[in-house]
Amino acid sequence: MVSKDPNATTLLLHVHGAFIPQCKDCMWGSSIIPGKYIDPEKLSMALDILRSRGLSFDEAFMLCPNPFIHEQINRIYDIVYDYCRFINIMIHVNDLTRIKIGVISEDDGILIISDSFPKLNEQRNNILALESHGFDKIEILFPVIPGANDSDITDVLKFCRVRGLRLRFIGGPPLDERLDISSIFSRLKDVDLGEPCGYFMGCYSRRMAFYRDFPFQVLSRYYRDPCNIVYMNNANLVGKCPLSEEMYRVEELSKVDPTKCKCPLNPKTLTLIPKVKISFLTGNGVEIHEEELEILDMIDRNWSIRYIAEKLGISHTSVRIKLLNLQRSLSMKLIKKDPISGRISLTDAGRKIVERYRSLKSNYAKFT
């Protein structure tokens, strides 16, 4: 699989204005011009000019409402594929039956937006139908609206866990002040929040989390300056992002660089986020570092050594060496191996350390 370039630019597209999305609290719809449709030739010209300025595009996101309404969606797809390595379709859960299977590739991402578990559950057969056509990059994007649908979170987690669907929770559009929804998840049973681990869609910071053994992501405000986005709306105007006030005609792009435009998110505003690292010190002065605690924690969740290594970005040999060195330093066994299955698990001593680690981690999560 081709890896994604974190330094490349993300392309966002609103391809039509046949109707304006009415999703609750979404401000991105304000950038859509009613009745207008993106011109494939203008799109090609814009991307060609931007590439000549040195921009490389990694991912493209065709934003809701349903991109397949555009009569020339096939042509738009061909153009975008000439400039971007990955294409993602954002589509509301109620529009799944309107996806044109013959247009998209099995390598494309399908981001299904749903802000209600009942709506999502009603479409489970249509999601299964997409999977039966070979589409395995299906994700659920669930906007969390505190006080309105946060009670659906656990049901959504169970739904995606059983079906093996990728899942991301988000607090709203990037400008929304309520984006930090981490505190909601820190209070949920069987949910553990991880560390920030990269970026999504060019404008969100993503944080890994786990519901039992099921990994999912929590998206929050983008903290990197500058964000790597170029946006084109359905009136063939190009700007920094869907929230930009500065938008330019394609013919002006040879003189204006949209990536240098003022960011509406004002990323230069200083935001301080508490970050706590946990380690233990024994009475003999032996320190158990956080990475070692994470390894023990993942073993207790029945993760394999190979999968733990992939998660931490180290070799599986390094994981084994860390465990052996830790046991040697503490003069006690922390892991044991089943003689039949070969699966490793924690001893009582190892589990005691993990329980203490999880307790502290849960307490600190209240302040982050």
Q: How far apart are CA 251 and CA 269, in angstroms?
A: 33
Q: Are residues 247 and 301 in the same domain?
A: no
Q: Is residue 2 part of a domain?
A: no
- Residue 310 and residue 180 in one domain: no
Which candidate, 143, 140, 186, places its Cα nearest to that of 167?
140
Q: Could you say which residues of the chain have pLDDT below 70?
A: 1-7, 19-30, 147-148, 172-180, 221-226, 264-275, 364-368
Query: Both 284 and 215 in a single domain?
Result: no
Same domain, 93 and 139: yes
Residue 92 CB partners (closer than 8 Å, separation 6+): 21, 23, 64, 65, 66, 112, 113, 114
227 is a domain residue: yes
Residues 143 and 285 in one domain: no
Closest CA to 160 of 88, 214, 207, 113: 214
Indicate if 334 and 253 belong to the same structural domain. no
The strand pair at 166-170 and 109-113 is best described as unpaired
Global pTM?
Answer: 0.69
Q: Is residue 142 part of a domain?
A: yes
Same domain, yes or no: 51 and 196: yes
> Domain ends where: 232, 260, 288?
260
Residues contacting 30, CB < 8 A, separation 6+: none
Cα-based distances in Å from 191 to 5, 276, 355, 365:
30, 18, 14, 11
Same domain (yes/no): 219, 333: no
CATH of the domain at 308: 1.10.10.10
97 lies in the same domain as 163:
yes
In a shared domain, residues 255 and 298: no
Phi/psi class of residue 25: alpha, beta or left (left: φ > 0; alpha: ψ in -120 to 50)? left
Cα 66 to chain centroid distance, Å, stands at 20
Domain for residue 24, yes or no? yes
Q: Which two tokens stand for residue 203?
A: 């404008």
Task: Retrieve residue 16's tokens.
Answer: 């039509």
Asked whether residue 114 falls in the same domain as residue 24, the answer is yes
pLDDT of 160: 96
- Domain residues for the domain of 357 are 280-365
- Is 273 a domain residue? no
Distance, CA of 111 to CA of 114 (rounded, Å): 10
- Say yes or no: 71 and 110 in one domain: yes
Residue 272 lies in a domain: no
Number of domains in the chain: 2
DSSP state, 98? Answer: G
pLDDT at site 1? 36
Question: What CATH number does the domain containing 74 carry?
Answer: 3.20.20.70
